[in-house]
Structure 1
Amino acid sequence: MFGIVDKAFTKEEGPFVAINELKDSSGNSSTGEKTNSFIISGQNVKPRYNMYDVQGENLETFTYTFKEKSIFSLYYGIPDQADDSGSIRVSVNGSEVMTGSGEDQRHYPELFPATCEIPIEAGSELTITIEGNEKIWDVGYRKMQYFWN
């Protein structure tokens, strides 16, 4: 009986929702592009939903505000054909929660492409900063919801 009640009042991860538009530091929208595959640490990577990078700039900052409690996720890495200069930083409400760099990738290639999953509370602002040759892809979230939603 208690197991049924517990299940009824416990939120679970819902289906993946791709974020196909992020706002940059100036408030402009950036639509994630679909791209051909690329190689990271000898592995063929084919983004399924979207891909973001610096696109000719040295630094790009994207922000997104969550309306509901969610699990945010993305993949990241630097393609093999690019030099390893680059990094990624993710913060929630101004506090850094994840960082990665091309130097990390060079020293620990078996960990790349890497994935990042971050629990986000409703009303939180998530900021992603990409520098250099870093790419992020399949950026999205899963809303926390009750099984009947």
Structure 2
Amino acid sequence: MGVKLRKILVIGTILYTLLILYFLFLAFNRVEHATSQYGYTFMMIPESVPLRFPNLTDLSFSWIYNFGNIAAFIPFGVLFPLLYRTHFKKFICLFILTIFVLETLQALTFLGSFDVDDVISNTLGAMIGFCAYKIGFISKITWKSLIKSALTVVVLLIGIMGISEIIDVTLEKSERPIQGLQTLKQLTGSMPITHDLPSFTIAGEKIIPKLNLYSSEGKEIKEYKYTLDDKKEVLLYYNFGFPDHVDSNSELIIAVDGNVMLQSTEQYSPQAELINTALVTVSEITITLKGNVKLWDVGFSEM
């Protein structure tokens, strides 16, 4: 590699790294909304598969987010081996260590949370990049080798989506039927809507709840609290989002046994999200809604 090309790659790597750090710590109004009110957030149990096949007729924001979590780190798998010749094991170990440090800093500075799903997705991206490097960049770079590298990235991404689909279907078959959260004993708070459920629009998508609907309007704060009688190996399902054309300050908080599991504001999640969270032992679930936020089809199943 020529000296001039190496300088260009070094500068490009530094600039790209700074861009990624910006998105990790400063983008999406993170500084403005950083707060220690709810403590540190460490999500150590994988909550979803890395990347499923997209719905081409209705591409969701969550799929774009998951895709970006992988694709954004592919360049590192190419650039770093190009600049510093290294073996796959050493590269991946150093990369995982770095991501663990960055995710921990996000949580400790309240600029985000430690999410093991992000660690998995980011690492998959770096691995794809390293494979592309091995095929197209380790020897003489030609148009043919570049095309091979691009095809490698595409094939590996499709492979990840295929494996994710298989894992998702397998997990669904191993779970018990989903029960609405309202079937549990309610301790205090408001009651969700369970009949004649109204529809609403989030991110341009019409939402039609099936199980239940938890909502708040304007500046009103609503709290729902349920007891699970120390159920073990529970999967909690929920969808949440902030309706379109709403300017009020909105917030959703889900706490399990007094520990905040999810805290989201309008600025962080302007879209509908489908989430399932694995919980080991659960005694009590508390849901707090402020402003114009919708939480629907909240249910649980036992493994």
Which interval holds the TM-score relative to the shorter structure?
0.7 to 0.9
Specify the alignment match of 2:294 in structure 1. Answer: 135
Q: How does 1:19-98 map to 2 (within 5 A)?
A: 19-20=181-182, 23=186, 27-28=188-189, 30-33=191-194, 34-55=196-217, 58-67=220-229, 68-69=231-232, 70-98=234-262
SS at structure 1 position matched to 2:268: helix
Q: Secondary structure at the match of 1:89?
A: strand
Amino acid corresponding to residue 193 of structure 2 in structure 1: G
| Structure 1 residue 89: Cα displacement | 0.9
For the pair 1:116 / 2:275, whether they are aligned, the reply is yes
Choose 49-58 or 129-138, whichever is displaced more.
49-58
The Cα shift of 1:121 comes to: 3.5
Deviation per CA, 1:47-99, whole angstroms, max 9, x where unpaired? Answer: 01110112566211111122322111111111114335211111111111111
**Aligned partners of 2:183 and 2:200: how far apart in 1?**
22
What is the RMSD of the two structures over their aligned residues, measured on CA atoms?
Answer: 2.3
Q: Does 1:15 align with 2:174?
A: no
* Structure 2 match to 1:5: none
Q: Per chain length, whose mean CA-contact separation is higher, i.e. which structure has more relative contact order (CA < 8 Å, sep 6+)?
A: 1
Q: Please state whether the residue corresponding to 1:66 is helix, strand or coil.
A: strand
- Rg larger in 1 or in 2? 2
- Change in Cα spacing, 1:52 to 1:61, as seen in structure 2 (3 Å) is same
1:43 to 1:97, Cα distance in 2 relative to 1, 3 A: same
- CA 1:84/1:117 → structure 2, altered by over 3 Å: closer, same or farther? farther
Distance 1:61 1:29 in 2: 6
User: Which stretches in structure 1 are left out of the alignment for 5+ residues?
Assistant: 1-11, 145-149
Bigger share in helix: 2
Aligned length: 126
TM-score by length of 2: 0.38
**Structure-2 separation of matches of 1:57 and 1:13:** 38
**Letter matched to residue 38 of structure 1:** F
More strand by share: 1
2:189, 2:223 within 8 Å by CA — same for their partners in 1?
no
Look up the SS of the partner of 2:289 in the other structure.
strand
How far residue 20 of structure 1 moved from its aligned partner, in angstroms, is 2.8
